[in-house]
Structure 1
């Protein structure tokens, strides 16, 4: 069974930013050396149908599907991240020994789980999570997973819309970065953020 330090379920802005932030810590902190990450993504993200005119640093008129592809390419530059296309139907276990079951029968193992599956529905069985109405959705019948500061319980985090964030790219992406920093901080035993500076600074 393949084993990962963090399995991220969801390949939209929140999931990809979680992976990017975790992966980019490699080489900066000794406690991340040798750690590996997996992003499991399904066919579709809400970003696929977006037109982005108000995202800081992103050119006005950028198509969401194009930005999503660029972010995937950016994350793929880090060799400690793998992508797996598939649908998660079940997950169980506890911190240090989670198992994730895919529709095709494949089973993966991870120390941590990050759920970034959006706000339309949550159909992954086995984790006994509390699904509640999304408090900030402009549309009815959307959901979130109940959590405390993005942590559902030991080893399980939620990011993006399923964490109750507003349906804006910057909010979802920022939530993913926060979750990654929370995990890194847990590993370090102190607050950790991942910054880079130019070589001449």
Structure 2
């Protein structure tokens, strides 16, 4: 059974940015050395059908599916994140020892869970989470997971549209970065962020 420090459920803007931020802490903090992360994602994400014209730093006219590939490649450069295309059906356990079961029967252990499954539905069994109407959705009948500053349960975070963010790439991605920094700060015992500076 594979074991990870953080399992990110969802491979859209929030999930990928969470993973990228965590991965990029490698080499900057002793407390993350040797850490492993996994992104478990389903084939479909709303970003697959997006045309991006207003994302800072992203060339106007970029297709969402191309940006997904680019971000995954960026994450892979760090060498500490695995990707699994599968559907999570059940999560049990507690902080430090969550057990994740996928539709294909894979079992994964993770210390921390990040839910970034979007605003369409939440069908993962085992977690005592509450869904409420999404407050910032331009479309009706969308959901978000009730949370307190992105914390759903001890060791379970929520990011992106599932956390109630607006349906904009930068909003969702920013939420993922925040959650990753919250996790890093928890491990550090103080507030930390991940910055890089050019070699002088």
TM-score strictly above 0.5: yes
Q: Per-residue deviation at 1:77?
A: 1.1
Flag structure 1 segments of 5+ consecutive residues without an equivalent: none
1:164-179 to 2 correspondences below 5 Å: 164-179=164-179
Q: Which residue of 2 aligns with 1:69?
A: 69
Runs of 4+ in 1 over 6 A off after TM superposition: none
Q: Look up the match of 2:84.
A: 84
1:55 aligns with 55
Q: Which residue of 2 aligns with 1:41?
A: 41
C-alpha separation between the residues in 2 aligned to 1:63 and 1:179? 26
Aligned 1:1-201 pairs, distance under 5 A:
1-200=1-200
- What do the CA deviations read for 1:70-114 (whole angstroms, capped 9, x no partner)? 111111111111011101111111100001100011110000000
Aligned-pair distance for 1:69? 0.9
Could you state the TM-score of these two structures normalised by the residue count of structure 1?
0.98
CA deviation digits over 1:129-158, x for unaligned, max 9?
001110000000000000011111210000
Distance 1:99 1:142 in 2: 27
* Local SS of the residue matching 2:39: strand
Structure 2 Cα separation of the partners of residues 70 and 160 of structure 1: 19
Task: Write the deviation string for residues 34-87 of structure 1: whole angstroms up to 9, x where unpaired.
Answer: 111000010111000011111111111111111111111111111111011101
Tell me how far apart the structure 2 counterparts of residues 105 and 62 of structure 1 sit (CA, whole Å): 36
The secondary structure found in structure 2 opposite 1:82 is: strand
5+ residue gaps, structure 2: none
**Total equivalences in the alignment:** 200
